[in-house]
A and B are shown apart, each in its own frame.
Chain A
Amino acid sequence: MMTKPELMKRMVKGPDGLEFEVDPLRDYYCEAPPTVMPGAYIQIVEDFFNWARSQSLWILGFGTGCGAIEMRPLMTPRFDAYRFGVAWRPTPRQANLFIISGYLSTKTLKRAIRAYEQMQNPKYVIGLGSCTINGGMYWDSYNTIKKLDEYLPVDLYIAGCMPRPEALLAGFEEMKKIIRAGKAEGANQYAENFAWYKANQKRVIHDWDMPDYNW
């Protein structure tokens, strides 16, 4: 299944003339599986953090499908999502909310999984538009997934084709409520059911050319 030459094991000759094997997947990537990360030991601290988390939603600036176009107006004066503590970050390391904006082809799904796994716990996923819910108009497409929560732990769906920016704002407010309630444990859910998610993902992604978990 692994056909990418750059990921294949290879023999390398060191400067001292010794040859040794390099296994890129093992040598380049951390192999540790994700673990469940409990919240703060003291509940009130965790609540405090959850409150802060809810007020500081950093969205990963990754438009997976046509829905990405609906997020742009949120930055404009008309909708101004910043006032709700919503901001966009260019790197998954710093973001904690991943909006799957619309249909997700298998090719994009691979990147989405990688980006999701590189975000830090706690992290949240919002499915945007009907395509993420049941495939929408791509229900019979040969390369588009139809049920996002099969592959990533989704905290919230915003239905519509496409949902308007207002719907998104409402979604954010709903998301905040979930977070404040301490129910947005998608990351831990993903870690708990890691095998199941991985199996689902690998079922549709035929050339799985990455480690099982992308740290």
Chain B
Amino acid sequence: MNALYLIAIGLGTAFLLGLLNEQRRDLAYTLTLGALTMMSAISASWLVVFVATGAGAVDIFTAGTRPPFAINLRMGLTEATLTLLINLTGLFAAIHMGEVLLAKGRRAMAVLLIAIMALCGIVLTRDIFNLFVFFELIVIATGGLVLLSDDEHAVSAGFKYLIVSQFISILLLIGIIFGYHATGTLNIDGMAAIGAGGFALAFFLIFIAIVAELKPFPANGWALDIYESAHPGFSAVFSAATGSAALFALDKILAIGGPAWYPVATAIGIVTFVGANLLALPQTNDRRLLGYSSIAQTGLILTVIGQQDILGNQYLFIAGGLLFAHAVAKAGLFWLSDFVAQRELTAWASLKERPLLVFAFVTFAAMLSGLPPFPGFYAKWELVHALAAADRLALLGWILFGALVEAGYLFRWFGYLIKRESDEKVACTAPQVIPVAAAVLAGWALGFVWGDLSGRSNLLLVLPLLFALGFLLIEWAPAWAKNLLAIGGLSFYLLQTWQDYDPLRLIFLVIFTLGGAIIFLASFHAHGRRIGFYPSAMLMFAGLVLLIQATDSFGFFAAWELLTVGSYFLILRGKESEPHALSYIVFSLGGAFLILTAFALANAVSPAPTFEIAALATLAQPVAPWVFLLLALGFMTKTAAIGLHIWLPGAHAEAETDVSPMVSGILLKAGLYGLFVLLMSMGRQSLYGVDLVNMLLWIGALTALLGNLMAIFQEDAKRLLAYSSIGQMGYALFGLALMNHLGWLMALMFVINHYVYKSMLFLSVGGVAKRTGTRAMYRMGGLITLMPLSFIATLIGIIAMSGVPPLSGFGGRWIFYNAIMDAETRLPMVLIFLSGPIAFLYLFRLIHTIFLGQLKDEHRRIKEAPASIVLPQMIYVAILMGVALFPGLILRRVDAYISQFLPDGALNWDGLTITSQYGWWNPVAIMIVVACIFLLIFGWLLFVNRKAQKVKQFNIVFSAERPYRPETTHFAWNFFAPYKKAMGFLVQPFVTRFWGAVTDLLHTAGDLGRRLYNGNGQIYAFHFLAFVVVVFAFKAGL
């Protein structure tokens, strides 16, 4: 059908509505919907044609003559897609606003139709004056539609908008007329053929006017007021459709200006992106925040438009990906905001009662943040690669910074949604839900399409991810059934794929899958449906196995993002975990961006359509050390190396009982895996004469020391374990950075051991916390007789962890000593030496204050932890014993594998004795000797002490007094006070303060920026004019 009908139907129906009786509102509404449907259908049919046939763009000559004598419209693939987007947005907006439209009558509907029609016109027209006319129509239509809102401030907002629009249109008109004067044509293509060189000032006016339609930062105060006060149904149009159309218009007119204007667009775009995101940070009003976010996203796309010179044929893919992700998500969010009664961000908590709405929010937030599998992710990937290839690193940095800030406030918002309390009920009618549902569907569909177009693996066809997403469909099932399925899935995956991997990857794979399955055993304790748990957990596991599977950088990065997102949702489920989950996701995404940059840099110097991870080894100076540095930093955010660790304690401590072991025992290993891969492929690198591996060594040692040191001062059992994880990861990092055979072996041993004993301890402590209802250790005590199995697990765990023979921790220490004998740097060892005994301190604290000492009154009737929580612990005990006796079962093969990379210093696995070049170790003999001695002495004691009288807790000598109460008799609080006196200077929260200062700085910057927007429309006009002057100066200076 002729594309002209898009205009005709819109305009015609609008006029028709004018003829209708005011009372026939239903009919009017039906007509409106019908018209919008028709328009959508026309766009869709065009899109189908273009996609199916691959045909080129079609020009439509309105007056039957060619330009410049008549206005022509063009319908191509891009136009078809955009008009479809606009029309669908309009349609769903009409559905969403049905009630309001019916109340306000036909005029409102006509105005909406005019607006949509005009937007289509902007997209279609190739005539610049026509463009102006459509823009003016939009101004008028917007002016009308703003009044639909029941917000009393909408009127003043609309007026401010009109003021600035006047300025814009005057500039645009002047620009157009002088452009016409210079070129003799009003046709954009005609102008483009001549070029803007001859009428730079006129073009500048056109350019700046269209840019102003994009609401660039900081000249955008009026737009924010509209976003805040207009009806959300309309705001969706204003954000998704108007923004898209204006962007396309800018893209069109940039053809006139040519590449000379790209830097200007880029500059405006990036300033807008970063600035608007920063200003969004301190916002508390949801719609205003969405407004800022819209502006930021528009800025990003503007940046992309400005970068089209380097994007080549990826330009449309990137710009489109970002644009659609933005448009769909923003429209969806605006519609969603109508379900929330109050305008505070925290009021969105009322949505949490409706899992489907939460899912919708998640979809939108993920789309906006550019997370897989949505279009923004693919677009971000290509954009970053293109920028890196063109060496535009500063721009790249700013884009990633802005994206991080944006993710920060979006996920903070999501945190409010999930964790805050709200008394409000969600009131939504079917017409209101349909658009949201459509947006969600569109989001996923676009994800699929973009995955398909990307030329890389379509993430929505990847089996593990599909398996994880499949849990979304069976959320109605009881938890135990889903749990069985999860365990089955993980085990099945392991069975299917284990032959494909080398021993190193296999170890990680086993921990990720089988390890996960064991922890899932503990999940049987949960009752009900446990909505949200399984999709999140399985998303994390999907990411983990994909990480192992990945051979190219794209797969690796996608897996990394997936596991990050999955684990974020998992962590957010914890009781008080809102701030910790937020810092987790921010740090993780920051780390992910570093990884992305590193891959892009690497890919830039060795161009290939897919960059194999193994190709990291081929990188040379000067880019190699930078890639190394970025990757290492990225991975270290996940292993929580010191300085990047502040998210971990809260995140792990507040997580649910079975989630803590998952995120501690398993998730941290992803970072280690990354480091393994990195060091295996890149080896030593040095930057400005600093050996980076040596830096890692120091960081590892420092992390081990400070993690352990902080652990001993915790009162919260799970927090203690979390800090201990930091320390343990430091050990592993240290082992890796030793860069010798045994160092790696030790790191791997730590990977296994840490998984086992940290999972076990977290489960054990989690079980205790579940039973006692507290995590504060000093509130517990004396639980040994009531929870003997948990005690045994903890006991075995701490013996293993402290490295005391005969359990498996000793193997790690033994390898460690042999490894450092070969090391080139000796000083960091000092820190490691110190952190070992310190670990002893917190371990003793853990077991003493929980299980030993005085039993509290309220805990006298406590039962052992649920069987499902105890069972995995017992499995771990068995594993620990097995590993302790026969470490060779696993390590031997890895030892051989590592020899490929570092041939020197392999162990000799002769018989039961393990021999290194310096010493030897015979785990079986140690176990037997210790057991014999122990039993002998135990037997002797049993003989001489056979009549011992069992006494109770207060039968202690107490300086001839009797204890007052268990609470005052249990020595547990502030357990290591003297150590704090002596060593406290090391655990000052410098890092926390540093990051706190950074966030404060960002917030302050945002708050300062907000002062620009004092609400006065006149001032906004000043802003606009000042913006024009500044851009002009910038362009002149360029």
Asked whether the complex places CB atoms of A and B closer than 8 A, the reply is yes
Residue in A14, A15, A28, A111 whose beta carbon sits within 8 Å of that of B960 in the complex? A111
Convert A39-64 into 0s and 1s, putting 1 for each residue whose CB lies closer than 8 angstroms to a CB of B: 00000000000000000000000100
Residue in B857, B858, B962, B964 whose beta carbon sits within 8 Å of that of A210 in the complex? B962
Residue in A15, A93, A114 whose beta carbon sits within 8 Å of that of B962 in the complex? A114
Residue in A14, A30, A215 whose beta carbon sits within 8 Å of that of B862 in the complex? A14
How many angstroms from the CA of A22 to the CA of B774 in the assembled complex? 21
How many angstroms from the CA of A18 to the CA of B859 in the assembled complex? 11
Q: Is A79 an interface residue (CB 8 A)?
A: no
Query: Within the complex, what minimum Cβ distance (angstroms) separates B967 from chain A?
Result: 10
Are B859 and A30 in contact, CB atoms less than 8 angstroms apart?
A: no
Interface size class of B (residues with CB under 8 A): 20 to 34
Q: Is A112 an interface residue (CB 8 A)?
A: yes
Which residues in chain A, 55-88, are within 8 Å of chain B measured between CB atoms? Answer: 62
Q: Which residues of A contact B860 (CB under 8 A)?
A: 12, 14, 20, 22, 27
Convert A1-37 into 0s and 1s, putting 1 for each residue whose CB lies closer than 8 angstroms to a CB of B: 0000010001011111010101010011110100001
Convert A184-215 into 0s and 1s, putting 1 for each residue whose CB lies closer than 8 angstroms to a CB of B: 00000000000000000000000001100011
Which residues in chain B, 955-974, are within 8 Å of chain A measured between CB atoms? Answer: 955, 957, 960-966
Q: Is B980 an interface residue (CB 8 A)?
A: no
Are A28 and B957 in contact, CB atoms less than 8 angstroms apart?
A: no
Are A22 and B955 in contact, CB atoms less than 8 angstroms apart?
A: no
Convert A82-98 into 0s and 1s, putting 1 for each residue whose CB lies closer than 8 angstroms to a CB of B: 00000000011100000
How many angstroms from the CA of A120 to the CA of B954 in the assembled complex? 17
Are B955 and A92 in contact, CB atoms less than 8 angstroms apart?
A: no
Q: Is B953 an interface residue (CB 8 A)?
A: yes
Residue in A12, A15, A209 whose beta carbon sits within 8 Å of that of B773 in the complex? A15
Which residues in chain B, 736-767, are within 8 Å of chain A measured between CB atoms? Answer: none
Are A62 and B960 in contact, CB atoms less than 8 angstroms apart?
A: yes
Name the residue on B nearest A62 (C-beta): B960
Q: Decide: A29 near B955, CB < 8 A? Known: A111-B960, A112-B960.
A: yes
Are A22 and B964 in contact, CB atoms less than 8 angstroms apart?
A: no
Name the residue on B nearest A11 (C-beta): B857
Q: Decide: A15 near B953, CB < 8 A? Known: A112-B960, A114-B960, A114-B962.
A: no
Are A215 and B857 in contact, CB atoms less than 8 angstroms apart?
A: no
Q: Which residues of B contact A18 (CB under 8 A)?
A: 861
Name the residue on A nearest B954 (C-beta): A28
How many angstroms from the CA of A11 to the CA of B951 in the assembled complex? 23
How many angstroms from the CA of A145 to the CA of B810 in the assembled complex? 60
Are A93 and B957 in contact, CB atoms less than 8 angstroms apart?
A: yes
Are A30 and B955 in contact, CB atoms less than 8 angstroms apart?
A: yes
Q: Which residues of B contact A93 (CB under 8 A)?
A: 957
Q: Is B950 an interface residue (CB 8 A)?
A: yes
Name the residue on A nearest B961 (C-beta): A111
Q: Which residues of A contact B771 (CB under 8 A)?
A: 15-16
Q: Is A105 an interface residue (CB 8 A)?
A: no
Q: Is A156 an interface residue (CB 8 A)?
A: no
Are A20 and B861 in contact, CB atoms less than 8 angstroms apart?
A: yes
Q: Is B681 an interface residue (CB 8 A)?
A: no
Are A12 and B858 in contact, CB atoms less than 8 angstroms apart?
A: yes
Query: Within the complex, what minimum Cβ distance (angstroms) separates A209 from chain B?
Result: 8
Are A12 and B949 in contact, CB atoms less than 8 angstroms apart?
A: no
Query: Within the complex, what minimum Cβ distance (angstroms) separates B570 from chain A?
Result: 25
Are B861 and A28 in contact, CB atoms less than 8 angstroms apart?
A: no
Residue in B774, B954, B966 whose beta carbon sits within 8 Å of that of A29 in the complex? B954
How many angstroms from the CA of A131 to the CA of B923 in the assembled complex? 65
Query: Within the complex, what minimum Cβ distance (angstroms) separates A37 from chain B?
Result: 8
How many angstroms from the CA of A66 to the CA of B947 in the assembled complex? 38
Q: Which residues of A contact B955 (CB under 8 A)?
A: 29-30, 118, 214-215
Q: Is B1011 an interface residue (CB 8 A)?
A: no
Are A28 and B862 in contact, CB atoms less than 8 angstroms apart?
A: no
Which residues in chain B, 826-859, are within 8 Å of chain A measured between CB atoms? Answer: 857-859
Are B960 and A13 in contact, CB atoms less than 8 angstroms apart?
A: no
How many angstroms from the CA of A27 to the CA of B859 in the assembled complex? 12
Query: Within the complex, what minimum Cβ distance (angstroms) separates A64 from chain B?
Result: 10
Query: Within the complex, what minimum Cβ distance (angstroms) separates B110 from chain A?
Result: 63
Residue in B859, B950, B957 whose beta carbon sits within 8 Å of that of A15 in the complex? B859
Q: Is A115 an interface residue (CB 8 A)?
A: yes
Q: Is B981 an interface residue (CB 8 A)?
A: no
Query: Within the complex, what minimum Cβ distance (angstroms) separates B204 from chain A?
Result: 71
Given A12-B860, A15-B858; 19 other pairs, CB 8 A cutoff: A6-B964, A13-B858, A14-B861, A15-B773, A27-B952, A28-B953, A28-B954, A29-B952, A29-B954, A30-B951, A32-B949, A92-B957, A114-B960, A114-B962, A115-B960, A118-B955, A118-B957, A215-B951, A215-B952
12 contacts between A and B (CB under 8 A): A13-B858, A14-B860, A15-B774, A18-B861, A29-B951, A29-B954, A30-B950, A32-B949, A112-B960, A115-B957, A210-B962, A215-B955
- A interface residues with partner B (beta carbon < 8 Å): 6, 10, 12-16, 18, 20, 22, 24, 27-30, 32, 37, 62, 91-93, 111-112, 114-115, 118, 209-210, 214-215
Give the 9 A-B CB pairs with smallest separation, nearest first: A15-B773, A111-B960, A28-B954, A30-B951, A215-B955, A215-B951, A12-B857, A115-B960, A30-B952
